[in-house]
Structure 1
Amino acid sequence: MTLTGDPSTTLWTTQEAANAARVEANTVRNWRYRRHLKQARTDKGRPISNAAGQPLYRAIDVIRAETATRDRDRRVYRVPAPATH
């Protein structure tokens, strides 16, 4: 998915966010559950949903969540060096 427009005002559904981040929709749901991603809110603090009642997320928040979790998950595991006696 190509990002067009202002990422702070562009709103995505869970599936659109997953497509943009190249992850599964359940991953986006996990980000929300783990508080890496918050549902977009109005100026009055009310959650924003589409007509079907699906939560919407700001593109910039999706980008931040994806970056934070990607960087954290890139662990390097090394084989311990053989002990020398």
Structure 2
Amino acid sequence: MFLDCNLEHAIWNTAEAAEAAGVTPAVIYQWKRRGKLTPVNKTGWPRYRALDVLRAEQSTRERARRTHEAA
């Protein structure tokens, strides 16, 4: 899993971000479109800071009044 890395410096592609957040890649693209996530690169396939992805996921769950259930 990706969460065993240094999250302050980790950069994830869309698939990695989706897996770590427990969502589909389509949700990552929605977060990007809605301004919840900003890619770190300007060209090519989007890459995201790990902490930004996890913050967007937490914010989404809090707004929906859901909690993350550990598997």
Q: Which TM-score applies when normalising by structure 1? A: 0.69
Alignment partner of 1:64 is 2:55: yes
| Cross-structure match for 2:23 | 23
| Structure with the higher helix share, 1 or 2 | 2
Task: Give the percent of matched residue pairs that are identical in Structure 1 and Structure 2.
Answer: 42
Summarize the Cα distance change of 1:48–1:60 in structure 2 as closer, same or farther, 3 Å threshold.
Answer: farther
Count of residues in correspondence between the two structures: 66
**Separation in structure 1 between the aligned mates of residue 33 and residue 55 of structure 2, nearest angstrom:** 15
Question: Could you say what the CA RMSD is over the residues aligned between the two structures, in angstroms?
Answer: 1.7
Q: Which TM-score applies when normalising by structure 2? A: 0.81
Cα distance per residue 1:27-55 (max 9 Å; x no partner): 00111111111112xxxxxx266xxx211
The one-letter amino acid paired with 2:56 is: A
| Residue 4 of structure 1: how far off its partner (Å) | 2.6
| Residue 7 of structure 1: how far off its partner (Å) | 1.0
The one-letter amino acid paired with 2:27 is: T
The one-letter amino acid paired with 2:52 is: D
| Residue 3 of structure 1: how far off its partner (Å) | 1.3
| Structure 1 unaligned blocks of 5 or more | 41-46, 76-85
